[in-house]
């Protein structure tokens, strides 16, 4: 048995035979000299190949837009722009006439130069744009060399898909009913592959480096999308263990599925709203299937991860409208663009910062890029006509930032009125409480908004001064730290005193033990990944609000996260399961 470790990007466990999809493997590119009299012919071959590649991409764009929405079709719009880029054509022409070598070799060398420059950048997301360059040039070369590409849509048996890279077109085209898991050498949590794998609920482990090359067709592969473990040709004992785990998860999911349609109501009759967090519109099916009462956090960053220019107002309007309409009257909270820090987006100019997590990010960035912010705000406002939409501003640290964000929203409303574009005039406006300064003055901020949503991922990070992306101190990122619980209680109390609702959209909300404490503290709404909804709903239904209040009071009295964890484990052992 061989074991590899990668980045877990989509949860679940899958066992199956490997299908080594090596279409992105470097083909043998012919290299030979041409005469000056042959140059025009070589250039004509290039033009024909580019036109055929554009036909391919246009067909993929239309299919993606038809099956998955306009926002995914936009991936291929960017590819078409690159195929039509006059600078690319000029560079290829100059290289062809300067080297007197065949056009296949010229295209190959041009690709290698672009890839080398991108891979030399420090930003991992910009590095991932090499996939798009590869997709485009491979299409041109295939037409030049009359090479047919195998399509993943032709898969006829269940497989674990193993690749060095998956091109955007491969992810769109693949037969998703046959792909039981994805293992890839490249990629990370923000890559197209990761985003789509989560949306399709396909277990995935990316970032294996070169380890994926050791996996051959037919190898039995175990993929653990929770831990990032990939086991090849496991022994009987390991295979049996994972089969048991997979069966236990399947049984647990089946049992939980019966809870999905039930209300999140405590034993003494208190109703609690449990919503879902999503990254892409395709997740709305999962939200509804798992019994969420709405979307508590719609991360809008996915639109800005496409290569090429930032998404237009119309592209955003189409994406937001699609989600709002799919939710059929259930509330949808759209968070305005949250970039910077550890979330760098290509084509948005970020300055080099020594401490980006405390720098130019989220609402700070949006307030400085007026055009980008106004486009997004108008798109959300216009989409609000299709259902129950809300706007939420991230990383508000004080009243000055909040006032500026609200003023920007009023400006967007005025522009919509001027254009004659309908929108919901009383659209609810909220903020994420994820900075300690905001938590400390929650009473002031509560008078300016309609709701709070506590973002514990960052609130914990900033309260305890621990970089959650640093594995050396990750153990300190502790949601049951007494300081975190006290801040959460203060935000809830201040929100209620002002008459507004308080929700939580951080990972803490999906922990069943934490759910009991949060319920006891008076949290109104929980929001989490869709697959976690039934589990938390079961927890809410297993306890009374009165008992949860007693549990929360005792947790607040204890002096360390270890004491709190130990207390909860004993107190809730018979009522709450953490899976």
Are 140 and 157 in a shared domain? Answer: no
Mean pLDDT of 435-460: 96
Q: 424 and 509 share a domain? A: yes
**Does residue 295 contact residue 332 with C-beta atoms inside 8 Å?**
yes
Predicted TM-score (pTM) of the model is 0.70
> Of the ranges 12-26, 211-225, 267-281, 338-352, which one carries the lowest mean pLDDT score?
338-352
Asked which of 20-24, 163-167, 561-565 is least confident by mean pLDDT, the reply is 20-24
Could you tell me the maximum CA-CA distance found in the chain, to the nearest angstrom? 88
- Tell me the per-residue pLDDT of 317-357, one tens digit each, with 9 for 90 and over: 999 999 999 999 999 999 999 876 545 454 455 445 566 66
Domain boundary among the residues 252, 285, 307 is at 252
Rounded CA-CA distance 425/422 in Å is: 9
**Same domain assignment for residues 9 and 157:** yes
Lowest mean pLDDT among 8-17, 36-45, 474-483: 474-483
* Residue 279 belongs to domain with CATH number: 3.20.20.60
Please, which pLDDT band fits residue 162 given cuts at 50, 70 and 90?
very high
Helix (H), strand (E) at residue 19: strand 13-20
Q: How far apart are CA 46 and CA 145, in angstroms?
A: 11
For residue range 528-573, what is the model confidence (pLDDT) as tens digits?
Answer: 988 889 989 999 999 999 999 999 999 999 999 999 999 999 999 8
pLDDT for residue 136: 83
Domain count, the chain: 3
Q: Is residue 226 part of a domain?
A: yes
In a domain, 476, yes or no: no
CA 457/CA 277 separation, integer angstroms: 13
CA dist., res. 150 & res. 25, Å (int): 13
| Section 82-92 average pLDDT | 87
505 is annotated as an active-site residue: yes
Tell me if 544 is assigned to some domain. Answer: yes
Of 211, 229, 252, the residue at which a domain comes to its end is: 252
pLDDT of the residue at 397: 96
Whether residue 85 sits in one domain with residue 129: yes
How far is the C-alpha of 89 from the C-alpha of 353, rounded, in Å? 35
Q: For residue 578, is it within any domain?
A: no
Same domain, 533 and 396: yes
pLDDT at 367: 94
Query: Is 202 found in the same domain as 132?
Result: no
Last residue of a domain, one of 219, 252, 285: 252
> 258 lies in a domain?
no
Query: Which pLDDT tens digit goes with each residue over 191-241?
Result: 667 767 876 789 999 988 877 788 988 899 999 998 899 999 999 899 899
- Report the CATH number that the domain containing residue 181 is assigned in CATH: 3.50.30.10
Six-digit token string for 212: 């994926």
**Is 464 a domain residue?**
no
CB atoms within 10 A of CB 17: 14
| Whole-number pLDDT of residue 337 | 92
Minimum mean pLDDT among 150-164, 224-238, 394-408, 558-572: which range? 150-164
Residue 26 has pLDDT above 60, yes or no: no
Give strand pairing partners of 451: 430, 501
Token couple for 185: 């050498």
Indicate whether 74 and 174 sit together in one domain. no
Same-domain check for residues 222 and 271? no
Distance CA 190, CA 339 (A): 12
Q: Is the separation of the CB atoms in 127 and 71 below 8 Å?
A: no
**Confidence class for position 47, pLDDT limits 50, 70, 90:** very high
More confident residue, 80 or 44: 44
Catalytic one of 79, 143, 290, 505: 505
Q: Residue 188 is encoded by which pair of tokens?
A: 């990370």
Taking the C-alpha atoms of residue 247 and residue 238, their distance in angstroms, rounded to an integer, is 14
At 245, list the tokens. Answer: 């785990």
Mean pLDDT of the chain, nearest integer: 86
Residues 298 and 410 in one domain: yes
Q: Range with the lowest mean pLDDT among 30-34, 156-160, 250-254?
A: 250-254
**Banded model confidence at residue 69, pLDDT cuts 50, 70, 90:** low
Q: Annotated catalytic residue: which of 79, 192, 386, 481?
A: 192
Which pLDDT score is estimated for 348? 52
Question: Is residue 485 a part of any domain in this protein?
Answer: no
Distance in angstroms (rounded) separating the CA atoms of residues 460 and 563: 18
Asked if residue 390 lies in contact with residue 451, where contact means CB atoms within 8 angstroms, the answer is yes
pLDDT at 308 over 60: no
φ, ψ for residue 206, nearest 5 deg: -115, 180
Assign 3-state DSSP to the chain and report helix, strand, coil percentages, each to 5.
Answer: 55, 15, 35
Rounded to an integer, what distance in angstroms lies between the CA atom of residue 224 and that of residue 14?
A: 7
pLDDT of 346 reads 46
The stretch 29-39 carries a mean pLDDT of: 88
Q: Provide the residue range defining the domain that includes 344.
A: 265-436+504-571
When mean pLDDT is compared across 121-135, 142-156, 266-280, the lowest value belongs to 121-135
Task: State the CB neighbour count (10 A cutoff) for residue 312.
Answer: 13
Within this chain, do residues 405 and 513 fall inside the same structural domain, yes or no?
Answer: yes
CATH number reported for the structural domain that contains residue 59 in this entry: 1.10.274.10
What would the mean pLDDT of 521-527 be, rounded to a whole number? 97
Shared-domain flag, residues 405 and 508:
yes
Tokens encoding 289:
């299937």
In a domain, 531, yes or no: yes
d(CA 106, CA 102): 7
pLDDT tens digits, residue range 88-145?
899 899 999 999 999 989 999 888 888 777 666 655 555 656 777 877 888 888 888 8
Q: Quick one: 84 and 233 in the same domain?
A: no
Could you give the percent of the chain with pLDDT greater than 90?
51
In this predicted structure, what is the pLDDT of residue 270? 96
pLDDT at 273: 96
Residue 499 has pLDDT above 80, yes or no: yes
What's the rounded Cα separation, in Å, for the pair 336 and 378?
A: 11
């Amino acid at each position: 048995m061989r074991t590899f470790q990668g980045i877990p990007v989509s949860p679940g466990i899958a066992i199956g035979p490997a299908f080594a999809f090596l279409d992105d493997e470097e083909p043998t590119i012919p290299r030979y000299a041409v005469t000056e009299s042959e140059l025009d012919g070589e250039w004509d071959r290039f033009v024909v190949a580019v036109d055929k590649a554009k036909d391919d991409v246009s067909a993929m764009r239309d299919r993606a837009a038809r099956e998955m929405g306009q926002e995914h079709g936009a991936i291929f719009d960017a590819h078409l722009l690159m195929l039509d880029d006059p600078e690319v054509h000029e560079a290829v022409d100059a290289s062809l006439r300067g080297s007197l070598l065949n056009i296949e070799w010229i295209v190959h060398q041009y690709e290698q130069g672009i890839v080398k420059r991108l891979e030399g950048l420090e930003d991992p997301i910009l590095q991932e744009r090499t996939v798009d360059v590869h997709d485009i040039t491979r299409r041109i070369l295939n037409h030049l060399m009359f090479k047919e590409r195998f399509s993943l849509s032709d898969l006829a048996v269940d497989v674990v898909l193993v690749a060095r890279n998956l091109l955007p077109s491969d992810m769109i085209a693949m037969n998703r009913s046959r792909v039981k898991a994805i293992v890839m050498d490249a990629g990370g949590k923000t890559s197209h592959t990761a985003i789509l794998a989560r949306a399709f609920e396909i277990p995935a482990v990316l970032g294996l480096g070169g380890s994926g090359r050791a996996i051959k067709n037919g190898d039995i592969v175990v993929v653990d999308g929770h831990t990032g473990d990939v086991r090849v040709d496991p022994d009987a004992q390991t295979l049996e263990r994972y089969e048991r785990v997979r069966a236990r998860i399947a049984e647990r999911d089946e049992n939980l599925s019966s809870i999905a349609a039930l209300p999140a109501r405590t034993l003494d009759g208190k109703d609690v709203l449990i919503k879902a967090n999503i990254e892409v519109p395709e997740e709305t099916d999962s939200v509804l299937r798992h019994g969420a009462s709405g979307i508590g956090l719609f991360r809008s960053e996915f639109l800005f991860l496409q290569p090429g220019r930032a998404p237009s107002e119309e592209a955003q309007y189409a994406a937001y409208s699609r989600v709002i309409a799919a939710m059929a009257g259930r509330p949808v909270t759209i968070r305005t663009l949250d970039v910077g820090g550890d979330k760098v987006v290509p084509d948005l100019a970020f300055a080099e910062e020594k401490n980006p997590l405390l720098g130019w990010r989220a609402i700070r960035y949006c307030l400085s890029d007026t055009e980008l912010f106004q486009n997004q705000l108008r798109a959300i406002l216009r989409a609000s006509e299709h259902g129950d939409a809300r706007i939420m501003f991230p990383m508000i640290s004080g009243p000055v930032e909040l006032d500026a964000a609200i003023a920007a929203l009023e400006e967007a409303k005025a522009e919509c009125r001027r254009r004659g574009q309908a929108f919901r005039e009383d659209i609810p406006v909220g903020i994420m409480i994820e900075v300690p300064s905001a938590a400390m003055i929650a009473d002031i901020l509560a008078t300016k908004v309609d709701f709070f949503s506590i973002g514990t991922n960052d609130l914990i990070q900033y309260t305890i001064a621990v970089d959650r992306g640093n594995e050396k101190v990750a153990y300190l990122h502790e949601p049951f730290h007494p300081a975190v619980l006290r801040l959460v209680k203060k935000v809830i109390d201040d929100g209620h005193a002002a008459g507004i609702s308080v929700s939580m959209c951080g990972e803490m909300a999906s922990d069943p033990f934490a759910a009991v404490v949060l319920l006891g503290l008076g949290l109104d709404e929980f929001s989490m990944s869709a697959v976690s909804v039934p589990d938390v709903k079961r927890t809410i239904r297993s306890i009374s609000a009165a008992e949860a209040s007693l549990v929360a009071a005792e947790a607040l009295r204890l002096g360390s996260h270890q004491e709190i964890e130990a207390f909860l484990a004993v107190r809730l052992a018979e009522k709450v399961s953490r899976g």
